[in-house]
Structure 1
Amino acid sequence: MGKQVRVPGRGLGVASVVLLVLGAVLTCVGALGGYFFMPTKVVYSDNMKPTHLRGDSRVFNLLVTKVDRGDVVLFDASVWGERGMFVERVVAVGGDRIEYWPGVRTLILNGKPLDEPYVLGADAVAGSFAAFSVVVPEGRLFLLGDNRGNSADSRYRFAETEGGTVPLSAVKGAVIEKGHPLVVGLRSTMFVGIAVLSLGAVSGIASLRRRRAAAAAAPVAYAWQVPPQGH
């Protein structure tokens, strides 16, 4: 059995392939998860002031599967006969009763005053021009802006939808903090993937150079085996 010939640069070549595949996977996972499904969008309205100011950048989780009271959501405003995506806060969910009575300085949720420390000027009923009492249907949401005096929200949409509510199917995402471990982890994964791809490329180049160097040196090393011309 003959002696196995060692191929110069083979180890680097194998390492290069492994690193390139791993880097591609990490980059795709990080880019899709951290940027495509958790994009950064600019707030274009004053309706969520002071929590989210016009011009602020916010990350939205488009993979959100559950929406709770207090969440700030991105939704398709076509359900209200509007164009584009709106941002509002979930105040009541399916099965809740949300009420407003003139003279009362808070909204009433399920028979109790609703504590809303996030509203502008601590005025939770600003812009509420008429009494209402809405039982939110299952699978729907009652949405309000934090700037109650400047938000065309569920209070103004009774004519368009059931109690001014929005179906869960219209929700496309929810605000998630930029420093949330999921956002940081996925976005960091993309940069790690890019670094691994770069290392794989460097390994591949080094492997190729070694093979070329070995091929160039081969005729010199074995020149004595070639018989002289004319003999």
Structure 2
Amino acid sequence: MGDLAVGARSGTGEPEEPEGRGDAARAAADPRWPGEASRTAAASGRMPAEPVADASGAPGPSGSVGSAGSVGSVGEEGSGSVKKAKKPRAFWKELPILIGIALLLALLIKTFLVQAFSIPSDSMQDTLQRGDRVLVDKLTPWFGSKPERGEVVVFHDPGQWLNETPTPEPNVVQKVLSFIGLMPSAEEKDLIKRVIAVGGDTVECQGVGPVKVNGKALKEDDYIFPGNTPCGDKPFGPIKIPKDRIWVMGDHRQDSQDSRYHQTLEGGGTVPVDDVVGRAFTIAWPVNRWTTLPVPDTFDQPGLSQAMGAAPAALGLAGAVPIVLWRRRRMIARVRKSAESAGS
């Protein structure tokens, strides 16, 4: 009976394979089959060291861990640990960060780009009404842009213009909101007017008007308060506007303490360009008054800047005439000298 090597497997009804042949067959069919030596070592509690595949799939040194590493990962039999996904941070923890970012952006916008201002009086009616909120462009002055005729600008009090106007004491909330640009500052004394003339211009208004800039009459019916005259009750000029200063007037001429009423102060009623905060370009509030604040067409009329442009041209012509005459004399002298030389 010792010659019988094949018998039935217990409880399976399947014939057993000869020793070695079954291992070889299984190893050929399944590379993971450990073979008899491994199974024997496992049964005795002594497992031989086997190479561990690295990231390329090649076996590494005995007992070493390849760069890919399989330690702690989930194996074929589900062994190993599973790394849990990181839970998202709670919204209430992120809220302070979001508020901080929003405040920082608001502060940067208010400082360098746009700031909101409230209209406190009737001096710019009907263009602006009391209580309107306007947005002021603060970016273009950073690039050297200066106020131009016809623009509505916000500027700091150039000195004693608002001495009689009381300054309200703001509360903490108002201070915070004004600091980030959500409310106009109650502590700063700012004014809003329309630029009528700029440095180098000559401006005047006699009798009931019209206002003249460099001798050109302005047609102001489109923006001055109905029933007002261009000069209001305060004729002025002619006045030569100094360099880097502007002459401003309110659209409600008979209810505006503008450049006309401060001619006895330093600057003769003009405002330094450096005191200009920026140009008001739109009405943002209330919603039913949303509109832009463009430059009226009368400030684009031909010849308004002609006086300024003609001066350099006239100076250039005056300087060119002597040079031309001098060159002409030299040319005549050369011709005469050449003629004399030929005759001799």
TM-score computed with the length of structure 2 as normaliser: 0.44
Q: Which residue of 1 aligns with 2:5?
A: none
Residue 215 (structure 2) aligned to one of 106, 111, 114:
111
Partner of 2:48: none
SS of alignment partner, residue 279 of structure 2:
strand
Query: Does 1:27 find its partner at 2:98?
Result: no
Q: Name structure 1 gaps, 5 residues minimum.
A: 180-231
Contact 2:158–2:272 (CA under 8 A) maintained in structure 1: no
SS in 1 for 2:200: coil
CA distance in 2, matches of 1:109, 1:124: 16
- Of 129-138 and 159-168, the range deviating more from structure 2: 129-138
Measured in 1, the distance between the counterparts of 2:271 and 2:124 equals: 17
In structure 2, what is the Cα distance between the partners aligned to 1:34 and 1:57? 17
Question: SS of the counterpart of 1:41?
Answer: strand
Residues in 1 aligned to 2:274 and 2:127: alpha-carbon distance in whole angstroms = 25
SS for the counterpart of 2:278 is strand
Corresponding position of 1:213: none
**Equivalent residues of 1:69, 1:93 under 8 A apart:** yes
Q: Is residue 121 from structure 1 mapped to residue 226 from structure 2 by the alignment?
A: yes
Equivalent AA in structure 1 for residue 191 of structure 2 = F
Cross-structure match for 1:142? 247
CA contact (8 A) 1:127 1:148 kept: yes
Contact 1:107 1:124 in 2 (8 A): no
Whose RCO is larger (CA < 8 A, sep 6+)? Answer: 1
- Structure with bigger helix share is 1
Q: Secondary structure at the match of 2:238?
A: strand
Show the counterpart of 1:38. Answer: 114
Does the alignment pair 1:166 with 2:242?
no
Residue type matched to 2:129 in 1?
Answer: L
CA distance in 2, matches of 1:61, 1:96: 24
Question: 2:154–2:277: 8 Å Cα contact kept in structure 1?
Answer: yes
Task: Tell me the residue number matched to 1:197.
Answer: none
Aligned pair partner of 2:132 in 15, 35, 56: 56
Matched letter for residue 27 of structure 1? A
Residues 40 and 60, structure 1, Cα contact 8 Å, conserved in 2: yes
TM-score (norm 1): 0.62
Partner of 2:262: 157
Alpha carbons of 1:85 and 1:120: their partners in 2 closer, same or farther (altered >3 Å)? same
Aligned to 1:90: 195
2:151 to 71, 83, 93: 71
**Change over 3 Å in CA distance of 1:94–1:126 after alignment to 2:** closer
Percent of residue pairs identical: 28
Contact 2:236-2:260 within 8 A present in 1 as well: no
Structure 1 CA distance for aligned equivalents of residues 266 and 277 of structure 2: 18
Structure with bigger gyration radius: 2
